[in-house]
Amino acid sequence: MALHLYNTASRQKEEFVPRDPANVGMYVCGPTVYDTAHIGNARPVIIFDVLARLLRLQYGDAHVNYVRNITDVEDKIIAAAEANGESIEALTTRTTKAYHEDMAEMGALPPNREPKATEHIVGMVEMIGVLMEKGHAYEAEGHVLFDVTSMADYGKLSGRNRDDMIAGARVEIAPYKKDPADFVLWKPSADDIPGWDSPWGRGRPGWHIECSVMSRAELGDTFDIHGGGRDLIFPHHENEVAQSCCANGDGTFARYWVHNGFLTVEGDKMSKSLGNFRTVRELLAEAPGEALRLNMLSAHYRQPLDWTSDGVKQSKTNLDKLYTSLQSLSDVEADESQVAKSVLDALEDDINTPKALAALYALSSAANKETNLVERSKIKGKLLSGGNLLGLLQQDPKEWFQGAEEGDVTADQIEALILERVEAKTNKNYARSDEIRDSLKDQGIVLEDSPQGTTWKRV
Ligand SMILES: [Zn+2]
């Protein structure tokens, strides 16, 4: 089947037909770099990484441009830098680096382009100027505001009527606004906070204009896919549509709007006050990134996902099973001509990752039963290609089971103890042999004896 995506704009699943198959463009709202990423921030990164992998498979690496921005000027950044007593540059550099590391640990490939808001201020000033010229924006008390009454379609993406918008908690009521739903394009900066010269005085951009300008700079006035979490539909994406369509004079902007659902932790909305706020970094100390990734993909992206420690444990077990099958296939080379059609079909159906994982587990079961070498080689090819689409099974199985973390007993130490145990057994010193087994077990190393000898793995 062809790729189908649920389009928030039309509220239905549609076949994905790019404007130009040689230039497929996708823009995803990236992080505001003021704090380390929490697990909710990782959900769109992993979902859109799977979609990017799928697009690259279908259209070719060179024909897909996946853009994810960095918001490095925003009021939360200014507040956090002040609270931490560090410079804005130090804060944004540090958190951007941590973000890259965390997302890489979860198997997310870098986007093709990663523009920073501060590199696009000139474009923002220019777009705001055009909006003013065309009568879509006005200046008031050093601010420039978008006039929502100037756009007949305003509210169409989110399906909100005016009363909903005004009641929306994120709409800031301010005396200088003509209409309570008008939103800020440019705001004045005091001398001690970041600011750039503009026709409206020294100031800084509003958050929404950043994405309209960066997406246009990287992908043009109209492009294929715009993604993000569903909490961004209103006001952020609604306002991006308003700015871009009014400034560019084209009623299209993004053609497919793809939004992922919310994430809760152990049944509750994640919040610092509830004590269930989980950063990716903390979770990575408890489980491998690949297990976190599999856990993230275990729910369909449009459904809410409840993140639980039981779920992570189950995901680790499921991944162990997949790697066990892969390890058992070490007698054959993967037939690389084999694409896992069952995995591909599931993903083409609106990125149905639970179904794709089920298909991967089915391949794993088949591997465990198959004895014919040609068939085993085909299954291995499918397991690896299906895993690759999901960003899973990216390690050598031996590395998966034996890979050490800092401070762990090393492979050499384990091998030496296994030899000592063999010697102890030969000398009928069963107390010592059991002692070695137990002490390794305490350190998370399980020994498996077989007629061919002893193998080990970390659990
Ligand atoms: Zn955005």
Query: What per-residue confidence (pLDDT) applies to 163?
Result: 77
Distance between Cα 428 and ligand 1 center (Å): 68
What would the pLDDT profile of 431-456 be if each residue is shown by its tens digit? 999 999 999 998 889 998 888 888 88
List pLDDT tens digits, range 342-357.
Answer: 999 999 999 999 999 9
Q: Is the pLDDT of residue 228 over 50?
A: yes
93 CA distance to ligand 1 middle (Å): 20
Q: Give tens-digit pLDDT for 175-189.
A: 889 988 899 999 999
Q: What's the CA-to-centroid distance between 218 and ligand 1, angstroms? A: 13
**Mean of pLDDT over the chain:** 94
- The tens digit of pLDDT for each residue in 284-304 reads 999 999 999 999 999 999 999
Compute the distance between CA of residue 343 and CA of residue 3 in angstroms, rounded to an integer. 13
Structure-token pair, residue 50: 């799977």
pLDDT at position 403 is 82
Rounded-to-integer distance, Cα 35 and Cα 74, Å? 12
Q: How far is the CA of 366 from the centre of ligand 1 (A)?
A: 43
| pLDDT single digits (tens) 77-90 | 999 999 999 999 99
Strand partners, 68: 28
Buried b (16+ CB within 10 A) or exposed e, 409-438: eeeeebeebbeebeebbeeeeeeebeebbe
Question: Which pLDDT score, from 0 to 100, does residue 241 have?
Answer: 97
Query: Does residue 162 register a pLDDT over 80?
Result: no
Tell me, in angstroms, the distance from the centre of ligand 1 to residue 236's CA: 6
- Cβ density class 147-164: b for 16+ within 10 Å, e for less: bbebbeebbebbebeeee
For residues 159-178, average pLDDT? 75
Find the 213 Cα to ligand 1 centroid distance in Å: 10
Q: How far is the CA of 211 from the centre of ligand 1 (A)?
A: 5
pLDDT at 298 (0 to 100): 98
Name 100's Cβ contacts closer than 8 Å, sequence gap at least 6: 110
Q: How far is the CA of 445 from the centre of ligand 1 (A)?
A: 46
* Residue 353 CB burial class (10 angstroms; 0-12, 13-18, ≥19): buried
Residue 30 C-alpha to ligand 1 middle, in angstroms? 7
Cβ-based burial of 67 (10 A; exposed 0-12, middle 13-18, buried ≥19): buried
Q: CATH 3.40.50.620 residue ranges in the chain?
A: 16-263
The mean pLDDT value for 261-270 works out to 94
CATH of domain 16-263: 3.40.50.620
How much distance in Å is there from the Cα of 302 to the middle of ligand 1?
Answer: 18
pLDDT at 170: 55
| Mean pLDDT of the region 193-204 | 96
Is the predicted pLDDT of residue 169 greater than 80, yes or no?
no
Say how many Å lie between the CA of residue 205 and the centre of ligand 1: 13
Task: Compute the distance from residue 243 Cα to the ligand 1 centre, in Å.
Answer: 12
pTM: 0.90
195 has pLDDT over 80: yes
Structure tokens, 94: 């540090």
